[in-house]
Every structure is written in C-alpha cells, then in structure tokens.
Amino acid sequence: MGDSVLFEQSGRVAILTINRPDKMNALSEGVRADVLAALDRIAEDDGIGVVVLTGAGEKAFIAGADIGEFAGRSPFDQRHAMRSPRIFDVMASYPKPVIAMINGYCLGGGCELAMSCDIRVASDKASFGQPEINLGLIPGGSGTQRMPRLVGSGQAMRLILSGDRIAAAEAAQIGLVDLVIPHEELRAKTLELAARIASKSPLTLKVAKEAVRAADRLPIEEGLLYERDLFCLCFSSADKEEGVRAFLDKRPAAWTGR
Ligand code: COA
C-alpha cells in the first residue's frame, strides 16, 4: 500500500485512511492511485466485507483535489489526469459496501468522493461544500451529477453556485449525509455499523448494492423489473437457503457467500 493511504483491518472491516493531514488530505494523483490500488487489493480479499474511508488528522476528511496540481496545467494534461478508472466511479460500482467516515472538512473532490460512497457518516464537526466556483472551476468528480440526485436540484445549485460551506447538521437535513455522530464517538459508531453490515452474506450485500445503485440510472419501471430479477437471482444462492432455513430453525445464519 502506498504511503498516502493507511490500511487497517478490524474483523471483516477495512479502514482506509487518506494520510496527508498537513495538506488537508487533498486528493493528489498519487493519493488517487494509492486509493485505487488499495481498493483493487481489498476487492479480492474474501476476509473483508465492508470498506470504511476516512481522513487522517483532526481537521479534514478530504479538502478536495490537490489545487497545486491545477496551476498552469493544459486541458490535455488535465484530461490525462482524469483518465479512467476514476476513484468516484470505482467507489460507486465497488463490489463491497463503502462507508465514508467524515471526520472534518469534506470539500470539492472530497465531497464528491463521499457522495460516491454508499453511506455517509459524519462527525458533528464536519463541514461540506463544493468550493470549485471560487477557483473558476466546476465540480469535475461527479458532483454536478451525484449531488442533485442526493439532495435535489435546488440545494445542489445553491451549494455548487455559491461555493458555501455547510455544517454536518444542515448536510443531514438536506440528505447529503446519512448520520451525524458526536465527534468523539465517530469511529466507534461507524465501525459498529460497518461490522453489522459486514456480518451479512457478502454475496447478498453485493446484489443489494447493485439493485439500489440501479435507481440512479434506471426509470422506475425498469428499476422495478431489475429488482425483481435480482430478487429471484438470490433464490439460486446457498445463502438464501441458509438464511431462510436459519430463520425457520430459530438460529443465526452461517453465511458462506455462495
Ligand atoms: N489542495 C492542495 N492543498 C490544500 C488543499 C487542497 N485542496 N486544501 C488545503 N491545502 C493545504 C493548504 O494549502 C495548506 O498548505 P500549506 O500549509 O503548505 O500552506 C494546508 O493544506 C493547510 O490548509 P489551510 O488553508 O492553511 O488550513 P485552514 O484550516 O485555514 O483551512 C480549508 C482549511 C480546507 C478551509 C482550506 O484549506 C481550503 O479552503 N482548502 C481548499 C478547499 C477547496 O477549494 N477544495 C476544492 C478543490 S477543487
């Protein structure tokens, strides 16, 4: 694993920590490459069911793209820097659930990365925003597309056009964040949630994530048909047989991920 991303494992939960606290964990090319490499490795590891993404230090989750890399850069160089695979898309289609544990500033590309995760859990000290407008830019890591889907067009316009920063409580109120936790309890409570999710069948988690993600792109009629097909597909798994049998036998299920 590269130096800019720290890896820890707690049971079936992997914790990835972006480790540039002196630069507010800004997403440089190197950080993005290290995150992608870590995700690649974790995807193949059957011992890990859930990924938690967070930032090192007391102040920032991620304060956006590394602004230093933008100065003097040509459009072609920028296009190269934005080549696929992009962490935002990899996160959204990742085969395991990813929880953003937002411990501080969650700005620009950091907010876009959080929005690409499946669940956002924030410290009550965290703050959120898309300040690219102040740099003569617009969000380029999926913010103009993911934010309106999460919070509606009006709130997305307000944040993207003004560059205003909002506190965690307001972010939760508009649906940008799913849970707000007192800062001191953030890690413990997030890891509890992650462990609960990681105790489910990995196979079923993958299918559930795929079904919910489809709601981002499919019209409701097609989404409902897709859900029905995926639901029926679950009937081919050993874990469905085990889950139903365990309920009827009044015992905990023992998942095999098959
Ligand atoms: N890219 C590169 N460096 C960044 C950065 C970013 N997105 N965000 C913060 N840093 C660096 C600062 O340049 C500073 O570096 P230095 O110590 O070498 O001067 C260091 O991180 C600390 O930041 P600082 O601004 O001194 O801390 P602060 O507590 O006063 O403010 C923020 C924190 C996050 C509000 C402020 O740094 C900020 O507005 N960052 C930019 C956010 C942004 O526009 N993101 C969108 C990018 S597209």
Q: What is the pLDDT of residues 34-49, one digit of tens each?
A: 999 999 999 999 999 9
In the Cβ-directed half-sphere of 194, how many Cα atoms lie within 13 Å? 31
Domains in the chain and their CATH numbers?
A: 5-198 (3.90.226.10), 202-249 (1.10.12)
Q: At what angle do helices 153-162 and 143-151 cross, to 10 degrees?
A: 140
Residues at CB less than 6 angstroms from ligand 1: 23-24, 26, 63-68, 105, 107-109, 131-132, 135
Amino acid, single-letter form, for residue 253: A
Question: At 110, is the pLDDT very low, low, confident or very high (cuts 50, 70, 90)?
Answer: very high
- pTM of the entire predicted model: 0.97
Hey, which residues are catalytic here?
Answer: 65, 109, 112, 132
Residue 2 scores a pLDDT above 90: no
Q: Strand 119-123 and strand 5-10: pairing?
A: unpaired
Question: At 58, is the pLDDT very low, low, confident or very high (cuts 50, 70, 90)?
Answer: very high
| 81 Cα–ligand 1 center, Å | 20
Cα–Cα distance measured from residue 99 to residue 190, given in angstroms and rounded to the nearest whole number: 8
| 225 Cα–ligand 1 center, Å | 46
H helices present in the chain, as ranges:
29-43, 75-81, 87-92, 109-116, 143-151, 153-162, 168-174, 186-198, 202-214, 220-234, 238-248
pLDDT digits (tens, 9 = 90+) for 192-225: 999 999 999 999 999 999 999 999 999 999 999 9
- Site to substitute for ligand 1 among 4, 18, 22, 24, most atoms within 8 A of C-beta: 24
Q: What is the rounded average pLDDT of the residues 81-97?
A: 97
Residue 1 scores a pLDDT above 70: no
